[in-house]
Amino acid sequence: MKPPAMCPVCGEEVSPNAKACRECGADERSGWKEDAHVYDGLDLPDEAWADDESYNHRAPGLSLGWQIVAGLVFLAMIWWVIQGIF
């Protein structure tokens, strides 16, 4: 089977005598079909890969307010344990 002009997997140009796509390795068994001349890949614009500036890049973890609440709860639990022992 003659390879398609454009790889149906990655969209790169394929030479007429190629056994497989030079870019992704697709061949007759893995991706060249009778309708291989139709490229069905997803062509996203470069802007689709840019970081969204509106995204909040906060570090994971608890905020200061929740850390204080957690510390107070911890201290209260320790106080209850000490009161129960003595």
Q: What is the pLDDT of residue 68?
A: 93
In angstroms, how far is CA 54 from the centroid of its own chain? 19
The answer, as to whether pTM is greater than 0.75, is no
Per-domain residue ranges of the chain: 1-44
pLDDT digits (tens, 9 = 90+) for 30-85: 766 555 555 556 666 666 666 666 666 666 777 889 999 999 999 999 999 998 87
The DSSP string of 3-58 is PPSB-TTT--B--TT-SB-TTT--BTTTT--TTTTS-------GGGGSPPTTS--P
> Which of 34, 35, 37, 10 has the alpha carbon at shortest distance from 22?
10
Query: What pLDDT is recorded for position 57?
Result: 61
- Residue of 53, 3, 65, 56 lying closest to 28 (CA atoms): 3
Q: How confident is the model at residue 9 (pLDDT cuts 50, 70, 90)?
A: confident
